[in-house]
Structure 1
Amino acid sequence: MTEQKQDTTVIVGGGHAAGALLANLLQQKYQGTVVLVGEEPYPPYQRPPLSKAYLSGETDQKALLMKPLSAYESAGFQIRLGVRVDSIDRANRCVSLSDQSTLTYDRLVLATGSKVRRLSAPGVESTGIHYLHDIADADHLRDALAAGKRLVIVGGGYIGLEVAASATKRGVKVTVLEAAERLMQRVTGPQVSAFLHDKHTRAGVDVRLGSAVKGFKIGHQGHVEGVLLANGECVPADVVLVSIGVVAETDLAEAAGITCDDGILVDQYVRTNDPSILAIGDCTRHRNLFFDNTQRLECVSNAVDQARTAAAMLTGENKPYDSVPWFWSNQFGVRLQMVGLSAGHDQSVVRGSPDSETFAVFYLRNSHVVAVDAVNMPLAFMVGKKLVARRATVDAQLLADIEFDIKSLA
């Protein structure tokens, strides 16, 4: 009797989505051959702490790892680190690596993640200007943030504000430059933006809205000395962090002819247009029950949920991805938890008071709860996840009434 051939699954990438997929396959005792190819020298790790606990020195590299390398190797999984997938040969189902080797696959999973959006401005290539995406970036930035240094952060989104809080705790003088009219404008409503603005300002961060960057002032040694604004002002700087978002890492997929559109297009089973290739995490653009259109989500919850769907597909189970997206951020002791997508809401309801630093904002569209932003109010977040999942219709007055037990709505 001939032994049945085991399927080979090759995973490209070493971020949270790849790590979550490995964890699911470990849990299910997957019997196929698994090979992960990661360009960084670390097994899959968590990126969110890079701008928070890791940057502030409260945690170390070991704590970032989703699992120790030995956990994968004990299960027979092959982890190829420090090597890059250069190309995909779909016809022959194989990938070529940067070390000149090749791997054949039965199923290929692209977990290539994202890359930082680069700023195009005179002087941007000078020393002292940083981006934050991986462990090496965080190490370089942390080494530069000595107490008393002047850090200018270009961008007032999640990462920029988290770094502002972490750096302030280290005694760094921080200025945040945001081109929009409010902080985190793309992802939250005016009430939360105003609260975060006040929180950072009271902690000593110099927050400047409507501040577009046109270039950098460079010293004689080629090191940045300031950030030049469109209004002609120069903001002095010893260190600069550019944090203006990310773009999906789709180069490998596009070169292989896989359909992409600001992300690798996948269906509810995380399948690409090639039936043998799946894609998960930040690199994907997808549709689920909570979106009117396809979306690209840059969050851990999406990576974990899509990884779960991919694991199901690899083990012969069709389990669609239909999870409610959620996000979180920690800044100056504030726990911000967000669920759903507030874009397109026609009503917002505040529960509690921003002055107390314990409140939530419920976003409604046609009386249906579509998103919740909760500040130090975990109950509102947990109830909100269920309301958004059910597309519940809720009386706005009940949501606003702090005496009303919102647990009854769940």
Structure 2
Amino acid sequence: MRRDAPRAVVIVGASLAGLRTAEALRAQGFIGTLTIVGAEPHLPYDRPPLSKQVLTAQTEPPGIALPLPGALDARWLLGRPATGLDATARTVTLADGTLLKYDGLVLATGSAARAAPAALAEPPRGVFTLRGLDDALALRAELAPGRRLVVVGAGFLGGEVAAAARSRGLHVTLVEAAAQPLERAVGTVAGAYVAALHRAAGIGLRTRTTVTGFRAGADGRVTGVELSTGDAVPADVVLLALGSVPATGWLAGSGTAVGQGVHCDPSLRVLYPDGSVVEGVVAAGDVARVPQPLAGGARLALGHWTNAVEQGTTAAATLLAAGTPAPFTAVPSFWSDLHGARIRSVGLPAVADEARVVEHDLANRRLEVAYHRKGRLVGALTIGRTARLAAYRTALHAHREAAQEPASVA
């Protein structure tokens, strides 16, 4: 390890991005002390199964713990969320008052479930959000066959929970404010395709509709949701799947640039509002808002599993770099499984201004859409055609350099 390398690294966030950064630090030669802070009491676990296998398991939910390398040699401080950062003194404060000094710091706090709009009254019992393992186990206990579930929000999480509940024999209604499920993420064509999958599975889909209130019984338990259409849907259980927000509240007063995530440069170094680098601090995963060449250089926070894995490696390399660190260059990707259909995507479909349909075959569960921005390929999505994504990924890698523009500070 070089003489000026960090001797004490603190990773705030004990989930996928934090663990992968820790592994990468050790793999890249870091021999100093490593402390990993987690708000939850659990060791790192895989989150994608929470809305799928954990909910659909017929007996005990499957084990989702992420394997911990024996050579990680880390101190784990779990169930002790961070509450403050002093970037000048290089200290992190925890909820129990513990003060951690660092030479290198990794911000990997992920994101939290978006709460119900302030206009809604306090949700009654039986209304859930889903972000962590404890949330999933609590929701799973409610998903008995024959019960009525209303899912508010037809994004990836809401759609997956709706599909899981339907497979368990629940009556499911999916409420979505947009014209189609996933419209903001993948556009109207793919969104309409997913809508057809939901309806074919027997899910009641209410689009262009929002929830305006909850109904509850004398026992304080939810009995239904009131809709913007003026009618109501009976419910024994409600899931609010309204998206997520990067977990940055603890950084208030730190002086770092925060807004829809922690602002980073292309190498994942955390920035001050004036664009200068916060020395010794990097970010990775859902919380990191990083310049995206495919989006014209705009900074985006991407809540994808692969993003957390790949950024962990870059964050570690940046923290240990002797000179100018290399930029993060991976092409984003995500996946989802709905009603037996495999949805796979590369690039950034959400930033496209044009969607070109290559194949559309609902009967055989096949879809291929290429997404373009100002005439340039920025993403692709397939259902039942995963092998076709390799060519798109190669093209997107080639286009990244051509699409590189100065990053916006917005």
Q: Tell me if both proteins adopt one fold, taking TM over 0.5 as the criterion.
A: yes
Instruction: Kindly indicate whether residue 350 of structure 2 is the aligned counterpart of residue 346 of structure 1.
Output: no
Select the residue among 68, 92, 95 that pairs with 2:92. Answer: 95
Aligned to 2:203: 205
- Cα deviation for residue 359 of structure 1 reads 2.4
Instruction: Kindly indicate whether residue 287 of structure 2 is the aligned counterpart of residue 279 of structure 1.
Output: no
- Cα deviation for residue 366 of structure 1 reads 4.6
Q: Distance in 2 between matches of 1:189 and 1:222?
A: 39
Q: Distance in 2 between matches of 1:35 and 1:189?
A: 42
Structure 1: gaps of 5 or more residues: 393-410
Give the stretch that moved more between structures: 7-16 or 128-137: 7-16
Q: Is the 8 A contact 1:264 1:279 kept in 2?
A: yes
Calculate the aligned-residue CA RMSD, in Å: 2.1
CA distance 1:250–1:193, shift in 2 (3 Å)? same
Aligned to 1:22: 22
Instruction: Kindly indicate whether residue 113 of structure 2 is the aligned counterpart of residue 84 of structure 1.
Output: no
CA distance 1:368–1:89, shift in 2 (3 Å)? closer
1:245-324 paired onto structure 2 within 5 Å: 245-273=243-271, 274-292=278-296, 293-316=298-321, 318-324=325-331
Q: Distance in 1 between matches of 2:319 and 2:13?
A: 17
- Cα deviation for residue 59 of structure 1 reads 9.2
- Cα deviation for residue 291 of structure 1 reads 2.3
Instruction: Kindly indicate whether residue 384 of structure 2 is the aligned counterpart of residue 380 of structure 1.
Output: no
- Cα deviation for residue 21 of structure 1 reads 1.0
- Cα deviation for residue 331 of structure 1 reads 0.8
SS in 1 for 2:183: coil
SS in 1 for 2:367: strand
Q: Distance in 1 between matches of 2:201 and 2:93?
A: 50
Q: Distance in 2 between matches of 1:58 and 1:159?
A: 20
Select the residue among 363, 379, 382 that pairs with 1:355. Answer: 363
Which residue identity lines up with residue 65 of structure 1 in the other structure?
A
- Cα deviation for residue 216 of structure 1 reads 0.4
SS in 2 for 1:295: strand
Aligned to 2:337: 330
Q: Is the 8 A contact 1:124 1:215 kept in 2?
A: no
1:80-124, CA deviations, whole angstroms, 9 ceiling, x for partnerless residues?
111121212222211222222221100111111111111124444
1:355-399, CA deviations, whole angstroms, 9 ceiling, x for partnerless residues?
32122111234543221111011111222211222239xxxxxxx
Which residue identity lines up with residue 125 of structure 2 in the other structure?
T
Q: Distance in 1 between matches of 2:74 and 2:259?
A: 32
Aligned to 1:111: 108
CA distance 1:385–1:100, shift in 2 (3 Å)? same
1:216-251, CA deviations, whole angstroms, 9 ceiling, x for partnerless residues?
011100011000011220100000000011111111
Which residue identity lines up with residue 202 of structure 1 in the other structure?
A
Instruction: Kindly indicate whether residue 404 of structure 2 is the aligned counterpart of residue 389 of structure 1.
Output: no
1:157-176 paired onto structure 2 within 5 Å: 157-176=155-174
Instruction: Kindly indicate whether residue 215 of structure 2 is the aligned counterpart of residue 217 of structure 1.
Output: yes
Aligned to 2:72: 75
- Cα deviation for residue 315 of structure 1 reads 2.8
Aligned to 1:66: 66
Q: What count of residue pairs does the alignment treat as equivalent?
A: 387
Q: Distance in 1 between matches of 2:107 and 2:5?
A: 23
SS in 2 for 1:276: strand
- Cα deviation for residue 61 of structure 1 reads 6.7
Q: Is the 8 A contact 1:250 1:260 kept in 2?
A: yes
Which residue identity lines up with residue 101 of structure 1 in the other structure?
T
User: Higher relative CO (CA 8 A, sep ≥ 6), structure 1 or 2?
Assistant: 2
TM-score, normalization by structure 2: 0.89
TM-score, normalization by structure 1: 0.89
Aligned to 2:125: 127
CA distance 1:136–1:306, shift in 2 (3 Å)? same
Which residue identity lines up with residue 319 of structure 2 in the other structure?
L
SS in 2 for 1:144: coil
- Cα deviation for residue 26 of structure 1 reads 3.8
SS in 1 for 2:291: coil
Q: Is the 8 A contact 1:123 1:217 kept in 2?
A: no
Which residue identity lines up with residue 145 of structure 1 in the other structure?
L
Q: Distance in 2 between matches of 1:336 and 1:320?
A: 29
SS in 1 for 2:17: helix
Q: Distance in 1 between matches of 2:24 and 2:353?
A: 35
Give the stretch that moved more between structures: 51-60 or 220-229: 51-60
Structure 2: gaps of 5 or more residues: 272-277, 401-410
Which residue identity lines up with residue 302 of structure 1 in the other structure?
N
CA distance 1:5–1:391, shift in 2 (3 Å)? closer
Q: Distance in 2 between matches of 1:175 and 1:17?
A: 33
Q: Is the 8 A contact 1:217 1:226 kept in 2?
A: yes
SS in 1 for 2:165: helix
Q: Distance in 1 between matches of 2:363 and 2:385?
A: 13
Which residue identity lines up with residue 398 of structure 2 in the other structure?
R
Which residue identity lines up with residue 46 of structure 1 in the other structure?
D
